[in-house]
């Protein structure tokens, strides 16, 4: 920046050139600031979009994990039933119905439970049930004894399968609700139906 005396001595073309340079630098600075503002101070709409995308991704991951878990548990049940039918009079120690590996079922739902932004966005129905989904699965896994041919193990697996079916159904409904395909009333009705069906199956021993 020239001093006042230097500025007074400059010719008109020099002054215009300097002004043009200063305006150019200012324009560049303004452009950079305007470009960075959305990243430094994201708008409410942009924040909503980011949270929605994150929630949908987490719900889809949870649903995929639940489907995989249900397949694994049902496969273990089916295998045990076949072995029991093939060897109805065999002593329990002669072979293993339920395999030797513990149930290590991944769980994505705690991500939603511990993320305030995601938890606030899910439906009230899932909020009320989320903790139960997480802990019931943990309890059934802890109760399952690998390599133990007692029929209690079969009962645990059946209860776990029923819990996973309900969880899968409820996650599918939640994704439909989040996408706008279900109204809050429709979602709550179907959600409760899924849980009621699970209860009836568990009482019926299926």
- Burial-class residue 143 by CB neighbours within 10 Å (0-12, 13-18, 19+): middle
pLDDT (0 to 100) of residue 31? 82
pLDDT (0 to 100) of residue 43? 61
The pLDDT profile of the chain, 206 residues, written as one tens digit per residue, is 666 666 666 677 776 776 777 777 877 887 877 666 666 666 667 778 888 999 999 999 999 999 999 999 999 999 888 888 888 887 767 778 888 888 888 889 999 999 999 999 999 999 999 999 999 999 999 999 888 888 889 999 999 999 999 999 999 999 999 999 999 999 999 999 999 988 887 776 55
Q: Give dist(CA 56, CA 124) in Å, integer.
A: 16
pLDDT (0 to 100) of residue 117? 93
Task: Using alpha carbons, select from 158, 163, 170, 164 the residue that is nearest to residue 194.
Answer: 170
pLDDT (0 to 100) of residue 106? 82
Can you count the helices (H) and strands (E) in the chain?
A: 8, 0
pLDDT (0 to 100) of residue 206? 55
This prediction has a pTM of: 0.74
pLDDT (0 to 100) of residue 39? 65
pLDDT (0 to 100) of residue 38? 66
Phi/psi at 148 (5° precision): -100, 120
């Amino acid at each position: 920046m020239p001093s006042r005396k230097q500025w007074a001595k400059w010719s008109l073309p020099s002054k215009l050139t300097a002004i043009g340079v200063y305006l150019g630098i200012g324009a560049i600075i303004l452009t950079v600031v305007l470009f960075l503002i959305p990243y430094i101070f994201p708008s409410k709409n942009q924040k909503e979009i980011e949270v929605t995308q994150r929630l949908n991704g987490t719900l889809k991951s949870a649903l995929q994990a639940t489907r995989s878990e249900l397949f694994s548990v049902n496969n273990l049940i089916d295998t045990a039933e076949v072995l029991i039918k093939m060897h109805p009079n065999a002593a329990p120690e002669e072979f293993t119905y339920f395999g030797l590996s513990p149930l290590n079922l991944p769980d994505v739902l705690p991500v939603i439970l511990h993320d305030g932004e995601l938890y606030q966005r899910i439906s009230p129905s899932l909020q009320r049930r989320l903790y139960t989904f997480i802990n019931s699965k943990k309890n059934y896994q802890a109760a399952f004894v690998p390599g133990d041919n007692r029929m209690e193990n079969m009962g645990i697996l059946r209860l776990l399968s029923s819990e996973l079916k309900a969880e899968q159904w409820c996650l599918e409904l939640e994704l439909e609700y989040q996408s706008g395909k279900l109204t809050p009333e429709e979602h709550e009705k179907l959600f409760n139906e899924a849980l009621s069906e699970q209860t009836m199956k568990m009482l019926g021993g299926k």
